[in-house]
Amino acid sequence: MATLKELAGQEELFSGGHRLCAGCGIPPIVRLVLRSAKGPVVATTATGCLEVGSTIYPYTSWKVPWMHSAFENAAATISGIESAYKALKRKGRLPVKPVSDDKDTKFIAFGGDGGTYDIGLQALSGAMERGHNFLYVCYDNGAYMNTGIQRSSATPLGSATTTSPAGSVIPGKEEYRKDITRIMVAHRSPYVAQASPHNWKDLEKKAARALEINGPTFLNVMSPCPLGWYSKPEDSIALAKLSTDTCFWPLYEVDEGVLKISYKPKEKKPIGDWLKLQGRFKHLFKPGGEEIIEKIQLDIDTNWERLLDMDGKLIF
Amino acid sequence: MADNTASKTKNSALTGNSAMALAMKQIDPDVCAVYPITPSTTVIEEFSSYVADGAVETEFVTVESEHSAMSACIGASAAGGRAMTATSSQGLALMWEMLYIASGMRLPIIMTTVNRALAAPINIHCDHSDSMGARDSGWIQLYSETVQEAYDNLFQAVKIAEDERVLLPVMVCLDGFITSHAIEVLSLITDDEAKDFVGDYTAKHPLLDTDNPASMGALALPDTYMDFKHVQSDAIAASKEVVIEVGKEFGKRFGREYGLIDTYQLEDADVAIVILNSAAGTTRVAIDELRAKGLKVGLLKPRLFRPFPHAEMVEALKGVKAVCVLDRADSFSGFGGPLFNEVRSALYDMEDRPKIMGRIYGLGGKDYTTENAVAIYEALFDVVKTGKIDTLNDYMGS
Ligand SMILES: Cc1ncc(C[n+]2csc(CCOP(=O)(O)OP(=O)(O)O)c2C)c(N)n1
């Protein structure tokens, strides 16, 4: 694995000058993942902040071949790209010959939580089941940010969004998040993991592992969003870390069916520590909010216990 | 017809769908992403047998929806591969979003569209609501009267789509069940002839060229978006020339030449029917019956619907006194079907334009018979006699 110094010396495959917000979690995720391929890479992106922010014609941040076609189909699009690669390789008609027979171009699809948990779930499930050779990276910022912070099925319970506002009767989103990482595990993907950009070493290791596998792999990455979380841009990385210290966002991997927790906080922090730094949970700190915070805490605790139980075990 | 002895063609009796599957096999595309729907299903079933038997080198992707089928074709085509699919009805409707993206990204994807009605009510039989719903999606549309035409059109579609002056997706339409499931004797070209005719596809800027990374599908703001559309619009308009060239070349090689429109007994006709696909065949039979009685009736069958061969239509309908345009789809405008509207608009600038009326026929597989065609011709003669059209647009037989 690269040291920070080595990383800093590597060529940047996703350049600056893009229009993503200050403090956005997406660029560091994309930069790290692209480098982890250590070789030729082709990427696609679902409609969302990453796509809109990185390629305003005639500019592009992408120094690797990249395409966007629509919102719900990043996994289907990468299926087609990867299939063309296989066919052209077989026919000896690839535009660039592979370095060696076993060193194939890597294929990566990026999508936000909306493009992954919701509208893109079908295409993702199909591509996973068909077993294409690709890595799907979900940057989970917990809402449809590009269109102005509407709820998604990744939005945490209690969060206020523009379609689940905290009103006088309904206190923000009333439903639990969908656990897409488990859904991906249920596809018997050879490698599924959760990561966070504050722990760049872990993220890089997981991306590299996912990309060395020949098959459909999945990374779910925590992606702070100052705009949608009503948080300070300079707090983003600290918020990412807190999401793992509170075990709201456990770091773990399921490698060939074996679950391994990658980070166990010495002292698990109360979820309030994370919530209070974000305006989207502001209403939970008013009278009546404690119950909801308790509910969130209970859910986190249950999930964390469940993971600890499975740690080191073959789960499929 | 030109001499076709040069070609080692053989005759065979095949259904429309078998012929399309065979054409796909002979083209041997790089990627074929498919999802089943009646009546196009047997195209992909038979193609999957070619895959299973190693008769093609295609990467066969059995996606989980038509939306993903078109998305995968888009990815494959952008990557630099030749991509194909086949669908009908609801499947085409589900692709709608991606159809515009395929054409907007200028990707030469080829699709067999086996025409079927759209729900509701759900109905598996033939009409043209599906492909007519996609008429403004930027795809070139070729229509096919017979199994032979559908088969021949698929090879030509590849050449048209991939021509540098075009670079647009093409759909080849044939009538569900009527053509797709009916066995017809047709003349086949050999595998070698097929390969030689379509040639290899080499994309100019394939996404897989990792040495020269390109970004595709960027966001275009108001300062550039319209320019992209303008260029695309010019390209599809200019594709007519390529359709003609390719149709001629096909004729030279295989003895069956194709143009933008086809006519039957139209030269000296007083009245004419304009109609797409298989119903043109029925109309030809009615024409023979009426011509035997000395009645000057004729047919105009557009082969190309997108781009619309407006100038050729005007030329062909010169001297005709009354025309009925038969649509196998409604546009729900309260003003007739899509073909009616476009033909009528094309004829507007004619010096001596014919009287023109529209009838909607055959929706959801309702039969179109020679009696229907004869009745239309009789109505047209009434129009000529009285100089008046009683009912401009109507449903026929319901
Ligand atoms: C079919 C379709 N429906 C809706 C939209 C509008 N839309 C564009 S991006 C987006 C939200 C994206 O959310 P997410 O995937 O979470 O990514 P983020 O914006 O957070 O980057 C929506 C709803 C669209 N482009 N296409």
What is the full DSSP assignment across A303-315? HHHHHHHHTTSB-
Q: Tell me, what's the pLDDT at A1?
A: 67
99-128 of A, contacting B, C-beta below 8 A: 105, 122-123, 125-127
A73–B208 C-beta distance less than 8 A: no
Band (pLDDT 50/70/90 cuts) for residue B200 is very high
Report the pLDDT value the prediction gives residue A6, as an integer from 0 to 100: 84
* A26 falls within a domain: no
* Mean pLDDT within B240-248: 98
Span B307-314, average pLDDT: 97
What are the tokens at A254? 């399921």
Pairing of strands B271-274, B297-302: parallel
Model confidence at B6: pLDDT above 90: no
Q: What is the pTM of this model?
A: 0.97
Residue A28, in any domain of the structure: no
Answer whether A80 sits within 8 Å of B58, measured CB to CB: no
- Report how far residue A135's alpha carbon sits from residue A50's, in angstroms, rounded to the nearest whole number: 17
Range of the domain at A112: 34-310
State whether residue A279 sits within 8 Å of chain B by CB.
no
Separate counts of helices (H) and strands (E) for chain B: 12, 16
* Residue A116 maps to a domain: yes
* pLDDT at position B5 over 50: no
Distance A188 CA to ligand 1 centre (A): 27
Contacts of A233 (CB under 8 A, 6+ apart): A21, A22, A23, A226
Q: What is the mean pLDDT of chain A?
A: 96
| pLDDT for residue B373 is more than 70 | yes
Q: Which of A95-99, B12-16, B99-103 bottoms out in mean pLDDT, i.e. has the lowest?
A: A95-99
CB-CB under 8 Å, A60 with B208: no
Q: Quick one: pLDDT at residue A98?
A: 78
Distances (CA, A) of B145 to A225, B139, B148, B241: 57, 19, 8, 22
A50 in any annotated domain:
yes
- Rounded mean pLDDT of B84-110? 98
Q: Which amino acid is at A117?
A: Y
Q: What is the pLDDT of residue B317?
A: 98
Identify which of B158, B144, B151 has the alpha carbon closest to the alpha carbon of residue B109.
Answer: B158
In the three-class reduction of DSSP (H, G, I as helix; E, B as strand; rest coil), residue B155 is classed as: helix
What percentage of chain B has pLDDT greater than the value 70?
Answer: 98
Domain annotation covers residue A226: yes
Exposure b/e, A80-119, CB count within 10 A at least 16 = b: bbbbbbbbbbeeebbbeeeeeeeebbbbbbbbbbbbbbbb
Of the candidates B48, B76, B43, the residue with the CA atom closest to the CA atom of residue B62: B48
Chain B residues with CB under 8 Å of A136 CB are: none
Quick check: is A132 in a domain?
yes
A230-254 per-position pLDDT tens digit: 999 999 999 999 999 999 999 999 9
CATH number, domain with residue A112: 3.40.50.970
Helix (H) or strand (E) holding A111: strand A106-112
CA dist B171 and B57 (Å) reads 22
A221, part of any domain:
yes
In sequence order, which ranges of A72-220 are alpha helices (DSSP H)? 74-90, 113, 121-130, 180-185, 200-212
Provide the percentage of residues in chain B whose pLDDT is more than 90.
97
Q: Is the pLDDT reported for residue B2 higher than 60?
A: no
Contact call for A69 and B75, based on CB within 8 A:
yes
Report d(CA A232, CA A239) in Å as an integer. 10
Q: Is A223 in the pocket of ligand 1 (CB under 6 A)?
A: no
Please tell me if the CB atom of residue A110 comes closer than 6 angstroms to any atom of ligand 1. no
pLDDT confidence tier of residue A188, bands split at 50, 70 and 90? very high
Judge whether residue B24 has pLDDT over 70.
yes
* Number of domains observed in the structure of chain A: 1
pLDDT value for A103: 84
Q: Is A41 on the interface with B (CB under 8 A)?
A: yes
pLDDT of residue B246: 98
- Averaged pLDDT of chain B: 97
Structural domains of chain B, with CATH: 10-254 (3.40.50.970), 262-395 (3.40.50.920)
Structural domain contains residue A202: yes
Q: Are A155 and A144 in contact (CB under 8 A)?
A: no
Q: In this complex, which of A62, A78, A87 lies closest to B31 when CB atoms are compared?
A: A87
| Per-residue model confidence (pLDDT) at position B9 | 66
